[in-house]
A = this chain, B = another copy of it.
Amino acid sequence: MDSTKESGDIPIPVTGSKSSKAAPPLVVASTKKSAKQPLVSRWKRGLGILDFILRICAIAAALAAATAMGTTSQQLPFFTQFFQFKADYNDLPAFTFFVIANAMAGAYLVLSLPFSIVCIVRPHIIGARLMLLVFDTVAVPLVTAAASAAASMVYLAHNGNSNANWVAICRQFDDFCQRVSGAVVASFIAALIFVVLVVVSAVALRRN
């Protein structure tokens, strides 16, 4: 689209002496532009609304992940030589990081909603769009790192590792492991939505 705009604007051979001859191409160019303008604007507004809806979904996913992980704890009714009475997210540093990162991502998403609304109301403001893209790009590795670190721990808790002599704790803490697995899935969904958000912002920037 940009190439046609440029080819419509640049090659008009206007000099001071031949101004009366060169006017018609300008008229053609300006009518072309005004016909395209509302289409582009509507397209960008649609992208902005998609962005807003995705943000709401990502808030739900990130906060669900953080609360599911943060509120889960299981107390065993018996005591053995090897295991503690209780399992909660504080026991593993990866799970603590998971709660913090997902809560941060959720808070950022809530704070980003006004800027997303600005992008719907005024689709031609590029600064807000670019800012959202940069922060979303930073949020992608944050949420992914939290989710995958927790996922590797959940995998270890489920299966154990005979090479390192790490036992599977999920046989005892089955309820804890199930809720934690759900939280990890929710966090991966949030990360996926962040990737889609970055692509949506890039496409919206491209149409300028």
Contact = CB atoms under 8 A, between A and B. Distances in A.
A83 interface: yes
A19 B9 CA distance: 17
Contact of A165 (B14, B82, B149, B198): B82
Nearest to A205: B205
Contacts of A50: none
A81 B125 CA distance: 66
Contact of A27 (B3, B15, B195): B15
Interface in A61-99: 82-84, 87, 91-94
A33 interface: yes
Quickly give the copy total for this chain: 2
Given A27-B15, A148-B149, A149-B149, A83 B165 contact: yes
A145 B199 CA distance: 19
Contacts of A152: 93-94, 149-150, 152-153
Contacts of A199: 133-134, 137
Interface in A145-173: 145-153, 155-157, 161, 163-167, 169
B34 A14 contact: no
A10 B30 contact: yes
Given A126-B2, A147-B145, A34 B10 contact: yes
10 contacts: A2-B208, A19-B24, A130-B203, A134-B202, A140-B141, A144-B145, A148-B149, A149-B151, A149-B152, A157-B164
